[in-house]
Amino acid sequence: MLLAMVVAASQPSARSADDEKLVKIVANDTLKFSVTEIVASPGQKIHVQLKNEGTMPKDGMGHNWILLDSEGEAATYAMTAISARDAAYQPKALASHVLASIQLLGPKEVGDVTFCAPTKPGRYPYICSCSGHSMAGMKGVLIVK
């Protein structure tokens, strides 16, 4: 019986449900995310915290964080979001492509989201959809492997 306990103790344990990856991203008036690549395992729990350290008004320089289901949707979503100002730059017609998001933040505001990474390995883009910010370089990718 002691041998069974030793063998069981030496086995690698499965990842617990509390094994959450914390990712802190800073955005500011330079239209860049401080983190442009997140690597995760399929189904891994991820907590993203976005902090807007900018000083310009939320109206034109607010920032959000939108994780999309495919690289192919990033440009379409970004272009459509420009005219979705009344919906906080999140076009409702494309909501089915959003895997996770953080609302539009003004200067010195912080937002959070917790989600599970997709179970299918691949590259999942994230963007700031405010006023064409992603087209200026405010984007990144979640790599699930």
Rounded CA gap, 100 and 142, in Å?
11
pLDDT at 59: 81
Phi, psi (deg, nearest 5) at residue 2 = -60, -40
Domain boundaries, the chain: 18-144
Average pLDDT over residues 110-127: 98
Model confidence over 42-69: pLDDT tens digits? 999 999 999 999 999 898 799 999 999 9
Q: Which of 24, 28, 33, 25 is nearest to 55 (CA)?
A: 28
pTM of structure: 0.85
Q: E strands, 1-145, where?
A: 20-27, 37-40, 45-52, 63-68, 98-105, 110-116, 122-127, 139-144
Give the CATH H-level superfamily of domain 18-144.
Cupredoxins -  blue copper proteins (2.60.40.420)
